[in-house]
């Protein structure tokens, strides 16, 4: 069943015109006007911090009543809600055996916020005739009076999303809806959204926070990415590819390397490196600051490289590890 959105014009049209498009006159029109008024009663006046709606739900898992599924998960200290530190302080003492998430698609009963009538999931109350949510999805059991979010149900995701259907497309390989701006440019990664954020470990597919698709195709919370960059971390936590244009950084390394000659024993030392950005190996001069890879347009330093030390003698591998530690200290000072 497709989600239904009741807006003022749509409701009036439905009640003021017959099925063949002819205008309804007289007392019937007055009755329809009262019906419209009843539908609109209490709009945007009820709900919780998550949704404006005129009903509450009965959780099928614990048989308790809550304003919405998020309110349930916060009260029951589910793993998803505990991943959000805002609620962790309030619910950390909940018995672990009682922690659980609500199965949203299994909700069958709702309670009208205006008359208190409990009934099966439907958009209009069977008792007082109020519309319990201008946006209603029978699949997700979602009600919301705030239709400015431009909610829509994605059959590929199996859940409702916001932002307007025309602004997003569903990538079946990545398993999620992406902005139309990425339709012909994003690298597909199998199940890219069906894993935890590599920084805060919140499940990304159902996260309420903004998510960024990295150039490598992996996904991460936008705020987590910003925090990484504030700590001079510019590589994907999963594959170590650069997350932004690093050309200015590489230029700084060119200057630093040119100004820092290596000790004589290492001046002609060559090592094999693997570039994380292009995935190719090359044999290059060793330097304390960083090694440089050149493959056509590809020039990568530091985070985009890792030396291959397995072919070196034991003494040289140990010396190289010590030098790598020094590189880390040097980079902290550089940034």
SS3 for 289-326, per residue? CCCCEEECCEEECHHHEEEECCCCCHHHHHHHHHHHHH
The pLDDT assigned to 4 comes to: 53
User: What's the burial of 141, exposed, middle or buried (CB within 10 Å: 0-12/13-18/19+)?
Assistant: buried
| CA 175/CA 204 separation, integer angstroms | 11
User: What's the burial of 37, exposed, middle or buried (CB within 10 Å: 0-12/13-18/19+)?
Assistant: exposed
Ranges of the chain whose pLDDT falls below 70: 1-35, 78-96, 294-335
Chain CA centroid to CA 61, Å: 26
Closest to 142 measured CA to CA, from 38, 43, 5? 5
- pLDDT for 56-90, tens place per residue? 999 999 999 999 999 998 888 754 544 444 444 44
The pLDDT assigned to 49 comes to: 93
| CA 41/CA 32 separation, integer angstroms | 14
The pLDDT assigned to 328 comes to: 55
Tell me which long-range contacts 260-265 makes (C-beta under 8 A, separation of at least 24).
Answer: 260/287, 260/288, 260/289, 262/286, 262/287, 262/288
Residue partners of 107: CB distance under 8 A and separation at least 6: 57, 58, 59, 60, 69, 121, 141
The pLDDT assigned to 137 comes to: 95
Residue with tokens 């009262």: 34
| CA 129/CA 9 separation, integer angstroms | 18
Beta-strand runs (E) in the chain? 4-5, 55-58, 65-66, 109-112, 118-120, 135-137, 142-144, 152-154, 159-161, 168-171, 176-179, 211-213, 219-221, 270-275, 281-285, 293-295, 298-300, 305-308
Q: How does strand 168-171 pair with strand 109-112?
A: unpaired
Residue with tokens 């020094």: 326
Regarding pTM above 0.85, the answer is: no
| CA 189/CA 218 separation, integer angstroms | 7
């Amino acid at each position: 069943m497709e989600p239904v959105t009741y807006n003022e014009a749509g409701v009036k049209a439905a009640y003021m015109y017959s099925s063949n498009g002819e205008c309804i006159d007289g007392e019937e029109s007055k009755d329809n006007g009262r019906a419209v008024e009843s539908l609109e009663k209490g709009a945007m006046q009820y709900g919780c911090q998550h949704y404006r709606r005129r009903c509450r739900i009965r959780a099928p898992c614990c048989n308790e009543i809550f304003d919405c599924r998020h309110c349930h998960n916060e009260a029951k200290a589910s793993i998803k809600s505990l991943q959000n530190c805002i609620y962790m302080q309030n619910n950390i003492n909940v018995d672990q055996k009682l922690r659980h998430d609500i199965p949203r698609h299994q909700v069958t009963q709702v309670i009208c916020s205006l008359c208190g009538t409990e009934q099966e999931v439907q958009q209009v109350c069977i008792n007082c005739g109020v519309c319990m949510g201008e946006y209603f999805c029978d699949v997700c059991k979602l009600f919301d009076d705030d239709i400015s979010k431009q909610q829509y149900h994605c059959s590929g995701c199996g859940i409702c999303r916001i932002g307007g259907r025309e602004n997003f497309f569903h990538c079946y390989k990545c398993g999620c809806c992406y902005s139309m701006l990425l339709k012909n440019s994003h690298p597909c990664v199998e199940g890219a959204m069906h894993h935890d954020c590599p920084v805060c470990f919140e499940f990304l597919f159902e996260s309420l926070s903004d998510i960024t698709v990295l150039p490598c195709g992996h996904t991460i919370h936008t705020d987590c990415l910003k925090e990484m960059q504030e700590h001079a971390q510019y590589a994907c936590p999963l594959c170590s590819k650069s997350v932004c244009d690093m050309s200015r950084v590489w230029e700084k390394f060119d200057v630093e390397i040119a100004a820092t000659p290596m000790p004589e024993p290492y001046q002609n030392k060559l090592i094999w490196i693997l570039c994380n950005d292009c995935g190719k190996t090359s044999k290059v001069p060793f330097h304390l600051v960083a090694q440089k890879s050149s493959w056509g347009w590809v020039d990568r330093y530091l985070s985009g490289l890792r030396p291959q030390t397995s072919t070196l003698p034991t003494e040289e591998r140990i010396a190289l590890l010590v030098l790598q530690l020094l590189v880390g200290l040097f980079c902290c000072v550089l940034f």
